[in-house]
């Protein structure tokens, strides 16, 4: 019996264990986003205190994400993932216990948020690096699509909704206890990952010429040598470098307007309130989830770099008109398209990292990708407000939505992506073997 392409990764036991734990963990992360807010408020905190707690998590993430990538290449990814989930459990359980006994203080929540940020910095490079070790190449697109489908549904919708219900019915401390229960379950599930097959650093493949084997390189290399090696590889790989440069520009010009200025578009142009803004974000998440699932259901495109950049570039065009739209349904359509096309590109991008980056560098390159987004998000949000004092909002969205497609074309030409993808075909050669594995 042949499984649908999007479900083929589930034919592999280790993937079933990993994705089950990830689903529970990101559901808990969604709960924490709401539980943390109301726990701070319950302790007497206001906007300043809430900002400090949120910033503590971001600082932990940004400060350690490059170290997390190096760790993913040096140490067994299975142990890193289990260790991070265990640390998450310990932190949230401690906050829950302090809250239920009445001893919790604001600095406890801030410290916990910092540790959770550090944990995420180590978790995601290790997760990205472990997938090629437990799945055949032909199933990686489906696995990345499954994560892209699951994350907005659980972390942006179901988790926050569950926490909101618990806070309203009981208290913020009970919601935090629910988060701890999620991390406990995820930790238990992760311990069913196969030990012998996954505890060696790297994936067992040979390193590039001139490099030591995956199991030997980490022991001799210093932290900064490892980091330089990852940066050097990125700078010398045009498709990778120019995609990251495009990501820098898109994060810088798009995140701030969406996060900071879109609520004012809703208020001033549509005469809506926070409910309408929340619904628009939900529509964007729905587009992201559906597009991820659809992408996971097909083969990796032969013109994979072109499809990726065209999806990202054209998907930002509707945002150019956001500042001039006075119809809710037109605005909802614009953010739906943006969410959907963004996810198509992200699913392909994650798969390309796992397929084309050498295994012994995958953790570091993944962390560099993560770092680029994380570092520029707060910059974009900090600039959006002052920019709106100087320029009209419609002009800001017009510029942001227009510059990204232009830069996508520039990136494609500068990196010679159409030529590169033909010279490095992917996926097709693996599909027949994958079909045989999942069919009787």
Q: For position 341, what pLDDT does the model report? A: 93
- Domain with residues 230-433, CATH architecture: Up-down Bundle (1.20)
12 and 132 Cβ atoms separated by less than 8 Å:
no
The secondary structure of 151-169 as a DSSP string is HHHIIIIIHHHHHHHHHHH
pTM above 0.85, yes or no: no
- Give 258-294 pLDDT, tens digit per residue: 877 887 888 888 887 767 777 787 888 888 889 988 9
- The pLDDT assigned to 33 comes to 82
pLDDT score at 211: 41
pLDDT in tens, 361-395: 888 888 888 887 777 777 777 788 788 888 888 89
CB 60 within 8 A of CB 354: no
What is the pLDDT at residue 385?
A: 79
Instruction: Write out the two tokens for 201.
Output: 């650093």
Predicted pLDDT at 183 = 95
The answer to whether 304 and 426 have CB atoms below 8 angstroms apart is yes
Nearest residue to 82 via CA among 149, 154, 32, 25:
25
Tokens for 423? 């010279």
Low-confidence ranges of the chain (pLDDT < 70): 1-3, 47, 195-221, 274, 427-440
Q: What is the CATH class of 5-194?
A: mainly alpha
Domain ranges of the chain: 5-194, 230-433
Cα(273)–Cα(66) distance, integer angstroms: 39
What pLDDT is recorded for position 83?
Answer: 94
pLDDT, residue 274, reads 63
- Whether 167 contacts 179, CB under 8 Å: no
Q: What is the pLDDT of residue 198?
A: 56
Residue with tokens 């992408």: 295
Could you tell me how many residues make up the chain?
Answer: 440
Residue 345 sits at the vertex; the CA angle it makes with 344 and 348, to the nearest 5 degrees, is 90
């Amino acid at each position: 019996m042949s499984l649908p392409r999007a479900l083929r990764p589930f034919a592999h036991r280790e993937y079933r264990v990993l994705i089950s734990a990830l689903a529970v963990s990101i559901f808990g992360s969604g709960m924490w986003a709401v539980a943390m807010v109301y726990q701070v408020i319950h302790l007497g905190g206001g906007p300043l205190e809430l900002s400090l707690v949120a910033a503590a998590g971001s600082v932990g993430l940004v400060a350690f994400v490059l170290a997390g990538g190096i760790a993913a290449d040096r140490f067994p990814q299975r142990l890193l993932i289990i260790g991070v989930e265990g640390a998450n459990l310990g932190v949230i359980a401690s906050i829950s216990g302090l809250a239920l006994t009445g001893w919790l203080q604001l600095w406890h929540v801030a410290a916990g948020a910092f540790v959770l940020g550090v944990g995420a910095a180590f978790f995601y490079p290790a997760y990205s690096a472990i997938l090629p070790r437990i799945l055949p190449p032909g199933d990686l697109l489906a696995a990345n699509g499954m994560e892209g489908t699951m994350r907005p549904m659980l972390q942006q919708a179901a988790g926050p909704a569950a926490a909101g219900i618990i806070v309203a019915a009981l208290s913020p401390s009970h919601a935090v206890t629910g988060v701890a229960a999620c991390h406990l379950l995820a930790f238990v599930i992760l311990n069913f990952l196969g030990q012998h097959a996954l505890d060696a650093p790297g994936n067992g493949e040979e390193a590039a010429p001139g490099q030591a084997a995956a199991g030997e390189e980490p022991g001799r290399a210093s932290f900064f040598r490892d980091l330089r090696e990852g940066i050097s590889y990125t700078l010398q790989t045009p498709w990778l470098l120019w995609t990251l440069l495009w990501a820098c520009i898109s994060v810088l010009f798009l995140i701030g307007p969406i996060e900071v200025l879109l609520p004012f578009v809703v208020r001033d142009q549509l005469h809506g309130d926070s409910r309408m803004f929340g619904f628009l974000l939900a529509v964007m998440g729905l587009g992201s989830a559906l597009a991820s699932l659809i992408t996971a259901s097909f083969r990796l495109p032969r013109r994979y770099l072109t499809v990726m950049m065209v999806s990202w570039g054209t998907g930002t065009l509707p945002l150019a008109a956001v500042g001039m739209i006075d119809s809710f349904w037109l605005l909802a359509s614009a953010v739906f398209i943006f969410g959907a096309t963004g996810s198509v590109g992200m699913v392909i991008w994650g798969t390309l990292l796992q397929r084309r980056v050498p295994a012994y560098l995958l953790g570091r390159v993944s962390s560099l990708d993560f770092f680029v987004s994380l570092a520029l998000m707060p910059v974009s949000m900090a600039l959006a407000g002052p920019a709106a004092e100087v320029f009209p909002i419609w002009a800001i969205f017009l510029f942001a939505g227009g510059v990204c497609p232009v830069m996508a074309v520039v990136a494609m030409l500068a990196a010679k992506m159409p030529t590169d993808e033909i010279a490095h075909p992917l996926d097709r050669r693996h599909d027949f073997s994958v079909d045989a594995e999942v069919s009787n």
